Chains A and B, each alone.
Chain A
Amino acid sequence: MTGTDTAPTIETVFRIEAARIIAGVTRVVRDIGIAEELAQDALVAALEQWPRSGVPDKPGAWLMATAKHRAIDLVRRKETYARKLAEVGRTLEDVPPPPEPGDPEDIDDDLLRLIFTSCHPVLSTQARIALTLRLLGGLTTEEIARAYLSSEPTVAQRIVRAKRTLAKAGVPFEVPYGEDRGARLSSVLEVIYLIFNEGYSATSGENLVRPVLCEDALRLARVLQGLMPDEPEVHGLAALLEFQGSRLPTRTGPDGELVLLADQDRSKWDRLLIRRGMAALRRAGVGEYSLQAAIAACHARANRYADTDWTMIASLYERLMALTPSPVVELNRAVAVAMAYGPQAGLEIVDALAELGSLSDYHLLPSVRGDLLERLGRTAEARAEFERAAALTGNARERDLLLARAERIRKLPLPPMFVLSPLPNRFRRRRFEVQPRC
């Protein structure tokens, strides 16, 4: 292909290859900021040359080679400079090591190194997320700012600072092995999980979900699955996100309102993603993401809400609690226990949690408590809990739903007979979906 129509092709190829190019170049220059600039330089070179020479057979390889050549030049210039400095009796601390010979086998390792570097614990969570979305998700700072309802300069600043922090801390460009590996991998998984979660239930703003963030997180999880096929927790995370992603289209109603798990139209759950989730789950392990995925699989397996295996879910939450004790997991367990063994059993767990006080400003605690109280017929207390929950949430959609529930109780108090008799089925239908955020 020659002529002016090459520009879109170049940009498409670059978008596909950018992360790998940045990764490959970082191994040479040991600085992801410089690597990103050199990758951009290669793009500019392609935009100049390809319209005349035609798109090369392997455009990705061309871009990579061009960026790496520039990187090697840069390193050589620095070395020369360093030698001259040394000759005049000075030392330069930051002389980069000589470039290793390029081996195509290393490309994927480079990509992994880039993921591990972007998610390095030396960075704040926000910085890790921004850097990962920028370098691996290929999002512009503007797109990241929009997704996180932040300003573009703020995000740009955050990314610049993150790169500087990595350089200053001398973070090696490597995939850690041995003792360090588990902790570092969990930082990587956490970043992907948090990106997905922000898309799945936005912590603030008018929109309940931001599917773009979910899709970016899912893609990152799938990439990681391809790069680290022997890590069970990677498959666990991927499985979890596939399951959650399969429900995304049914989580909001026509006016953007939240639709609870019980009320979702299951015929619209994405069967392809569920199938992918099940496949990933078969390769998953017994860690926190794998257990969460197993819970999500229970929901995915139930063709109707009434078919949900709550006993299994309650026991999975118990295992999750033993593995990663957290009040949020315990709150989720309370919901599952209530479903499996009745609202009173659930309420006892919630009350114990409330006494601990650690979730005192978390809106889902009063929200779940309100639900259980309503089912026990303690309507006045339930209403107060829903109102309290509404005051605590930062998401407008969730607030609307909670206020609507409080209002509904005000209008339709349950007849006292329900206090003592088992709840009829129609009252069993109102349930909460709780998204674990541990």
Chain B
Amino acid sequence: MPRFLSIAYHDENNRPTAPPSPELQQKMGELFEEITKAGVVLDMAELTPTSQATRGSLVDGKVQYTDGPFTEAKEVVGGYTVIQAKDKAEALEWMKRFLEVQGQYDGTTVEVREILEG
């Protein structure tokens, strides 16, 4: 069964400052329970903001470091999920369910990519 990496992007400059509403929290809890009980999620995590991130890049053969935040980027990776599904259609169906809950943060984008095996 193929694995898929779902990468969630969001606009870091326009994140809601208030904590999620009780309704949203409840919906997120239900979704979390659903995916746990469906046995499809292998790993999932939310990432710290890019203000705590560091980029390394190779310039003229030397590693150069840049500390976050990376405000120039419109969208940054906010979290990821590794799921195992029968096929891409099934992975996309789970992505849809995730977006329907997370989509209450407008501008969230999720990219689904199959993980190369072997």
Residues on A lying within 8 angstroms of B by beta carbon are 8-9, 11-13, 15-16, 108, 111, 212, 215, 219-223, 225-227, 249, 272-273, 275-276
B25 to chain A, nearest CB (A): 18
Residues of A within 8 A of B37 (CB): 108, 111, 223, 226-227
Whole-angstrom CA separation of A73 from B71 in the bound complex: 59
Whole-angstrom CA separation of A226 from B40 in the bound complex: 11
With both beta carbons as reference points, the residue of chain B lying nearest to A225 in the complex is identified as B39
Number of interface residues of B (CB under 8 A): 18
Check if B42 is an interface residue, CB within 8 A of chain A.
yes
Closest 6 CB pairs of A and B: A222-B39, A226-B37, A223-B39, A12-B89, A226-B36, A219-B39
Residues on B lying within 8 angstroms of A by beta carbon are 1, 33, 36-40, 42-43, 82, 84, 86, 89-90, 92-94, 118
Knowing A108-B37, A215-B84, say if A16 contacts B42 (CB, 8 Å).
no
Residues of A within 8 A of B89 (CB): 8-9, 11-12
A145 to chain B, nearest CB (A): 18
Whole-angstrom CA separation of A89 from B39 in the bound complex: 51
16 A-B pairs in the complex with CB atoms less than 8 angstroms apart:
A11-B89, A12-B89, A12-B92, A13-B93, A16-B38, A16-B94, A108-B37, A219-B39, A219-B84, A220-B39, A221-B39, A223-B37, A226-B36, A226-B39, A275-B43, A276-B43
Evaluate contact between A272 and B39: CB separation under 8 angstroms. no
Residues of A within 8 A of B93 (CB): 9, 12-13, 16
Per a CB cutoff under 8 Å, which of B1, B33, B36, B82 touches A272? B82
Residues of B within 8 A of A225 (CB): 39
Residues of B within 8 A of A9 (CB): 89, 93
A283 to chain B, nearest CB (A): 13
B91 to chain A, nearest CB (A): 9
Residues of B within 8 A of A226 (CB): 33, 36-39
* Most chain B CB within a 10 A radius of its CB, from A9, A212, A225, A226: A226
B5 to chain A, nearest CB (A): 11
With both beta carbons as reference points, the residue of chain B lying nearest to A108 in the complex is identified as B37
Q: What's the A-B contact tally at a CB cutoff of 8 Å?
A: 45
Evaluate contact between B118 and A272: CB separation under 8 angstroms. no
Whole-angstrom CA separation of A111 from B38 in the bound complex: 11
Residues of B within 8 A of A249 (CB): 118
Evaluate contact between B90 and A12: CB separation under 8 angstroms. yes
Residues of B within 8 A of A227 (CB): 37
Residues of B within 8 A of A108 (CB): 37
Evaluate contact between B90 and A15: CB separation under 8 angstroms. yes
Residues of B within 8 A of A275 (CB): 43
Evaluate contact between B1 and A215: CB separation under 8 angstroms. yes
Having A12-B93, A219-B40, one finds 7 other A-B pairs with CB under 8 Å, namely A9-B89, A12-B90, A16-B94, A219-B84, A223-B37, A223-B38, A276-B42
B38 to chain A, nearest CB (A): 7
B4 to chain A, nearest CB (A): 13
B15 to chain A, nearest CB (A): 26
Residues of A within 8 A of B118 (CB): 249
With both beta carbons as reference points, the residue of chain A lying nearest to B3 in the complex is identified as A272
Residues of A within 8 A of B90 (CB): 12, 15-16
A258 to chain B, nearest CB (A): 18
Residues of A within 8 A of B33 (CB): 226
Whole-angstrom CA separation of A223 from B35 in the bound complex: 9
B42 to chain A, nearest CB (A): 6
A218 to chain B, nearest CB (A): 8
B59 to chain A, nearest CB (A): 30
Residues of A within 8 A of B1 (CB): 212, 215, 219
Evaluate contact between B43 and A15: CB separation under 8 angstroms. no
B70 to chain A, nearest CB (A): 27
Whole-angstrom CA separation of A275 from B44 in the bound complex: 13
Whole-angstrom CA separation of A9 from B93 in the bound complex: 8
Residues of A within 8 A of B36 (CB): 226
Whole-angstrom CA separation of A197 from B92 in the bound complex: 31
* Most chain A CB within a 10 A radius of its CB, from B37, B84, B93: B37
Residues of A within 8 A of B92 (CB): 12
B81 to chain A, nearest CB (A): 12
